Amino acid sequence: MATVICSFRLAALVIPLIALSGSARAQIDLFDPVWATMTQQSGGDSPGCRGCHIAPQPSFGPWFGDTREDVLSYFVNGPGSQLVTGCRQSSLAEALGLIDGVQPFMPRDAPLDGRFWRDDPVAGLTELTDLGNWLDTFCF
Ligand code: HEC
């Protein structure tokens, strides 16, 4: 009897840990393509945030950080968690144009300077799809 209770407790402890590490890993992998878009130098025809939110030190707008690790933890544990709350309905989704019928406003000044994120099979772009897949990791 004691063994049964014991292994039950162990399972109750271990199973959520496995689930947690699985989603943490998914989140890190799914961030890769989003990071690749974000970290492009901003301006011109770029969809990137580097030079504004992504920089060695705060420069323009809320500062996400400089390295991939900084920026990911800004969204996961830092002040940026407010921007991803709601996932596909979050402020980040809204800013970048993932919500149907809502006009994006980032990168700032787009389309004059910088361009909005898009999915374009011909150009091989999956920027919004990648964003949605990564945002899903905050809701599952
Ligand atoms: C030219 C500099 C510039 C670029 C490039 C830029 N931003 Fe911004 N962004 C700003 C500034 C400045 C603000 C603050 C605007 C305000 O408060 O009115 C801002 C605000 C935001 C906000 C709203 C923050 C909040 O607290 O509501 C989000 C989200 C955002 N930017 C995301 C992005 C992302 C993601 C990118 C890259 C894809 C990007 N921006 C590119 C300058 C920039």
Question: How does pLDDT run across 41-50, given as a tens digit for each residue?
Answer: 999 999 999 9
68 Cα distance to chain centroid: 11
Residue 126 lies in a domain: yes
Q: Is residue 6 part of a domain?
A: no
The pLDDT-based confidence of 111 (bands split at 50, 70, 90) is confident
Rg, C-alpha atoms of the chain: 18
Residue 14 lies in a domain: no
140 in helix, strand or coil?
A: coil
Please provide the distance, in angstroms rounded to a whole number, between the alpha carbons at the two ends of the chain.
35
Q: Which residues line ligand 1 (CB under 6 A)?
A: 38, 42, 47-49, 52-53, 60-62, 83, 91-92, 95-96, 106-108, 114
pLDDT in tens, 52-98: 999 999 998 999 999 999 999 999 999 999 999 999 999 999 999 99
89 in a structural domain: yes
Domain assignment present for 51: yes
Q: How far is the C-alpha of 119 from the C-alpha of 136, rounded, in Å?
A: 17
For the whole model, what pTM was predicted?
0.85
Domain assignment of residue 58, yes or no: yes
Domain residues for 105? 30-136
Q: Is residue 22 part of a domain?
A: no
**What domain count does the chain have?**
1
Q: Round to whole Å and give the CA distance between 85 and 94.
A: 11
Angle at 81 between CA 17 and CA 92, to 5 degrees: 125
